[in-house]
Amino acid sequence: MGMRIGYGFDSHAFKPGVPLVIGGLAIEHPEAASSVFLQTALEEVATAGYKIVNIDTVLVMAKPKIVPIAGELRESVAALLGVKPGEVGIKAKTPEGLNQDHVAVAHATVLLESVRLADPPARMVAVADVEDEIDQVVKGLVGGSHDVSALGRKMPAFDTDDLT
Residue closest to 10 by CA, chosen among 45, 58, 50: 58
Residue closest to 91 by CA, chosen among 74, 75, 112: 74
SS3 sequence, 123-140? Answer: CCCCCCCCHHHHHHHHHH
State pLDDT tens for residues 34-62. 456 677 788 888 888 899 999 999 989 88
Q: How confident is the model at residue 87 (pLDDT cuts 50, 70, 90)?
A: very high
Q: Which residues of 69-108 are buried (b: 16+ CB within 10 A; e: fewer)?
A: beeebbbbbbebbebeeebbebebeeeeeeebeebbbbbb
Q: Does a structural domain hold residue 95?
A: yes
What per-residue confidence (pLDDT) applies to 57? 92
What per-residue confidence (pLDDT) applies to 54? 93
| Number of domains within the chain | 1
State pLDDT tens for residues 103-160. 888 899 999 999 876 666 566 565 666 666 666 666 666 665 555 554 444 555 555 5
Can you give the residue range of the structural domain that contains 22? 3-114
**CATH code of residue 79:** 3.30.1330.50
- Per DSSP, the residues of 19-30 read -EEETTEEE--S
Amino acid letter, 116: R
Q: Does a structural domain hold residue 135?
A: no
Least confident of 10-19, 58-67, 78-87, 137-146: 137-146
Is the pLDDT assigned to residue 28 strictly greater than 70? no
Full-model pTM: 0.59
Q: Does a structural domain hold residue 160?
A: no
